[in-house]
Structure 1
Amino acid sequence: MSAEAKATDYSAARIQETVEQILTAGVLPAIVQAGHPVLRQVAAPFDGQLDAAELGQLIDLLRSVMHKAPGVGLAAPQVGIPLQIAVLEDEFEVDPVVAATRGREPLPFFAVLNPSYRPLGSLTAAFYEGCLSVNGLQAAVSRPASVRLDFTAPDGSRQELDFSGWQARIVQHETDHLHGILYLDRAELRSLTTNAEYAARWAQPDISLARQELGFLPDPQTPWGESS
C-alpha cells in the first residue's frame, strides 16, 4: 500500500501556486475522485510552503468543502493539493444504539499537519466505511480500535493525542489519504456495496448481517462487532 505510493513531484512553488489558484477561484473546489494521481501519491510534508495566512485560508476552505459534502474529514489531496494537511470534525447526530455499537462520540473540529498514527494495543474493529473520493461505494474495513496520533498543529506546535472508536477510524482514514492510501486498500472486498444497497440491506449498527450474507470476515475480531 503505502510502500507502493510515490512521493509527489510538486515543488514548493507549484504547491503554493496550486493553493493560490484554489483560494482565489471564488468557488469551492470539487473533491477529486479515485483514479486521480494525487490520491495515490505521498503528499509533501508541510514545511512552510504556505505562510500563516494562506495556511489558515486553506484550512477554512477544506472545512467548508467537508461541510458541503458532507463528511467527517477531508485531506488536502482530495481537492488536488499534494500537501500533508487534513481537517477532521464529527458533530453529526447519530442514533444512540449506533453510536454505542460503533464507539462514536462527537469529534470537535481540528486540523493536522504531517500526521502519523500507531495502534494502541491489539484490538481491532471492523465497520462499513466510505470516502468522499470514492463516490457511491462503501466497504467493511478492519482497523485498530485505538491509535495515538502524532501531528503538528497549525500554530506549529507538535502534539500527540489518543483516539478510540469512531474517532480513531476518522484519524486513520484521513492520515492514510496523505500517504496515497484509500480505504479500499484496507477493505474486505467481498463486503463492497453501493450506497443504495447499503441503505437497503446493511445499515445496521454492526456488520454481522452483511458478514454472514456476503461471506467476509468469518470470525468476529472484537467484542464490539465492527466499525467506520
Structure 2
Amino acid sequence: MGFDSRATPAEIVRIGHPALRHGTRMVAQELFGTPALDELIDVMRATLAGKGVGLAAPQIAVPLRVFVIEDSEDRMSHLSPEQRSERYRSPYPFEAIVNPTWHATSARTAIEQEGCLSIPGFRADVPRYWAIEVDGYRPDGERKRWSLEGWPARIFQHEIDHLDGWLLTDRMLPRTLASTEPHGVGAPSGLLGRLGLSEP
C-alpha cells in the first residue's frame, strides 16, 4: 500500500461526539487489501500528519478497529537524550494496525502526560502498562504480533482505548487534567490585594 499524498484530511471529532463512545467493529476479511481500506488509511495518515503520534478510526467517525501510528524525530526534538531514554522513545515509522487485541507482559506501569487530538488543548497524567504484546493485522491481511515497551506501548494502549470507546479522561489520574493554552490573567490587577489575599 502506497501513501496517497493527495488524500484529503478528515475532520477529527471531539469529546462529546457519539462516535468516540460507541465502540467499533472488526474489519471484515473481505476488506483486507482493498482500495476502500487503503483509502481509509491514506485519509487517516493525512489527518494525523503534523498533529500527533496516533489516530484511531473512531476519531474520524469511522467505527472500525483500525488505528495508525507515526512518531517522528521532529515530535521528540524537545526531549533531552535522558528523557528519551527514560521513556524508551525513538522514531516509529508510519504503520496501520487492524483488528488489534493486546495484553500486558509486565505488571510495571508508568505515568506520563498524554494529549489527545479529540480533546485539543488539554493534557493529563495517565498510567499505562510499560510492556505489552499486541496481535493484529496489516491492511493487506498479514497477521502480525508487536512486542512493545515504553512510549510505543503507551501509544498502542491509547489508540486501542479509542477502539473500545475509552478516552484519556477515563484513564487519567484525578485532578491532573490541565490546559496547554495560556491560562488567562484572572482577577483585575490589585483586586486580590484589596481583598487581603496574595497574588498566586
Among 78, 85, 93, the residue aligned to 2:66: 85
5 Å matches for 1:148-159? Answer: 148-159=133-144
Write out per-residue CA displacement over residues 46-70 of structure 1, whole angstroms, 9 at most, x where no aligned residue. Answer: 01474611111111110110004x1
Among 164, 169, 172, the residue aligned to 1:184: 169
Asked if residue 42 in structure 1 is aligned to residue 15 in structure 2, the reply is no
Question: Which position in structure 1 is the counterpart of 2:44?
Answer: 62
Please give the secondary structure, in 2, of the residue aligned with 1:169.
helix
Question: Which position in structure 2 is the counterpart of 1:52?
Answer: 34
Question: Which position in structure 1 is the counterpart of 2:195?
Answer: none
In the TM superposition, structure 1's runs of 4+ consecutive aligned residues that sit over 6 Å from their partners are none
Asked if structure 1 preserves the Cα contact closer than 8 Å seen for 2:124 and 2:173, the reply is yes
Q: TM-score, normalised on structure 1?
A: 0.71
Unaligned runs of 5+ in 2: 1-6, 184-200
5 Å matches for 1:1-228? Answer: 27-48=8-29, 50=31, 52-68=34-50, 70-93=51-74, 94=76, 95=79, 96-196=81-181
Query: Percent of counterpart pairs with the same letter?
Result: 40
Counterpart-to-counterpart distance in 2, 1:114 and 1:120: 19
Q: 1:197 to 1:149 in 2, by over 3 A?
A: farther
Q: TM-score, normalised on structure 2?
A: 0.81
* Length, aligned pairs only: 172
User: Rg larger in 1 or in 2?
Assistant: 2
What value does the CA root-mean-square deviation take over the aligned residues? 1.7
Unaligned runs of 5+ in 1: 1-25, 199-228
- Name whichever of 132-141 and 188-197 sits farther off: 188-197
